[in-house]
Amino acid sequence: MTKEIKRRLNLFIRWGGTILSIGIMIYLLSRVGWEEAWQTIRQLTAWRIGAVLALVFISRLATFGRWYLLLKDQTPTLSITDTLKLTFAGLFASNVLPTTIGGDVLRLAGAMRLGLGASLAAASLVVDRLVGMTGMTLMLPFSLPALIGYLRSRDLSAPAVSMALPFVERLKAGVRKVLGNLRFWSRHPLILLKALGFTLVHQAAIYLIIRVLINGMGETLSMGQIAGIWSLTYFISLLPVSINGLGLQEVTITNLYTLLGGLSPAASISLALILRLVWLIGSLPGAFFIGEVLAGRTPAEVEESLPQEAE
C-alpha cells in the first residue's frame, strides 16, 4: 500500500468515524429527548458556569506549563510568551478547526519556525504527550470496580475479545515507541516529575469541572469515579477513527458515565455536550495566534510588520 493510498484511507476512516459518531450522538439525544436534556442543562446556576470557565483556563494553563517546563532547560531562548501562543494555537487546532492535522503538528511547525530543531521539538511533544498519558494512567485503577462489575454482568463472546487484541497490541507498540524517545528527559527525572505535577493540576481541573456540572444537574458521583471514567474516555478518544475525537468523545462520555457511573442518560448526554462547548471556549484564545503560526513568521517579524504609531 502506497503512502498516498494509506493517507487517503486514514482520512476516509477519520471522516467516516466522525460522521458515524455524530450520527450516534444525535440518535442517543433523540432517544433521551431533546426537551429532557435541555431541562437538565437549565438546572446549572450562574456560579457553576463561572466556576467551570475558570477551571477550564486553569487546565489550559497547566498544559502550557507542562510543555514549557520540558523545553526551557534545553531552549533557554524560547520565551514564555512564545510557548503560550503555540500551546493555545495547538489547542485551537485540536478543538475548533475540523482538521486532521491536529494541535501537536501545529505546535511542531510553530516551534521549528521559532528556531527549535526538528528532533528536539518533536521529542518534546512526544514526552509532553507521554507525561499526559502517565497522569491519565494513574487514574485508570479508579475505573476498575465499576468496569469489572459491568463486564461481569455481560457475557463477553470470544469474537469480542479477539477484536480487542489488535488495539492492545497497537497500544503496546505505541508505548515502546514513546519510551524510545525519552533521551534527554530520562536523565532528568526531576523535570518529568514537575511536568507530571502540571498534568495532575490539569486533570484535577477537568475532574472538578465534571463534578460541578454533575452536581448542578442533580446527580452525584465521587471524584474517584469521575477520574477513573474520564481516563477511560481519554484513551478511547485517542483511537484514530474520528477528527480530533469529535463525536467519539461525546458518545464515549454518554455511555461510560451512564453504564459505569450510574448517571441518568439525560445527565450524561448533557455533560458530553457541555464539555465539548467548554473545550471550545477554553481554546478560543488560540484564534489570535494560529495565523501567526501558520504564516511561519516569528513574533519579532510580526511586530515589525505592524503599523507604527505617529510620533
CA distance 49 to 71: 34
What pLDDT is attached to residue 210? 95
Q: Is residue 307 situated within a structural domain?
A: no
CB neighbourhood size of 301 (10 A)? 12
Considering just the CA atoms, what is the radius of gyration of the chain in Å?
Answer: 21
Q: Is residue 79 situated within a structural domain?
A: yes
In contact, 226 and 211? CB cutoff 8 Å: yes
CA distance 269 to 250: 7
Q: Is residue 175 situated within a structural domain?
A: yes
Position with higher pLDDT, 156 vs 82:
82
Average pLDDT of the residues in 201-220: 94
What pLDDT is attached to residue 306? 38
Mean pLDDT is lowest, of 160-174, 193-207, 268-282, for: 160-174
Res 77 pLDDT > 50:
yes
Average pLDDT of the residues in 198-224: 93
Q: Is residue 300 situated within a structural domain?
A: no
Number of structural domains found in the chain: 1
Please report, rounded to a whole number, the percentage of residues in the chain having pLDDT higher than 90: 18
In contact, 281 and 53? CB cutoff 8 Å: yes
Q: Is residue 148 situated within a structural domain?
A: yes
Average pLDDT of the residues in 233-259: 82
Cell representation of residue 24: 450516534
CA 270 to chain centre: 19
Q: Is residue 309 situated within a structural domain?
A: no
Res 311 pLDDT > 50:
no
Cell representation of residue 238: 485517542
Q: Which domain holds residue 107?
A: 3-293
Buried b (16+ CB within 10 A) or exposed e, 113-131: bbebeeebbbbbbbbbbbb
Res 261 pLDDT > 50:
yes
Q: Is residue 32 situated within a structural domain?
A: yes
Average pLDDT of the residues in 280-292: 82
Q: Is residue 310 situated within a structural domain?
A: no
Residue 200 pLDDT level (bands cut at 50, 70, 90)? very high
CB neighbourhood size of 208 (10 A)? 18
Query: CA distances (Å), 295 to each of 4, 85, 174, 302, in order?
Result: 26, 14, 32, 10
Burial (CB count <10 Å: 0-12, 13-18, 19+), residue 187: exposed
CA distance 41 to 271: 8
In contact, 230 and 207? CB cutoff 8 Å: yes
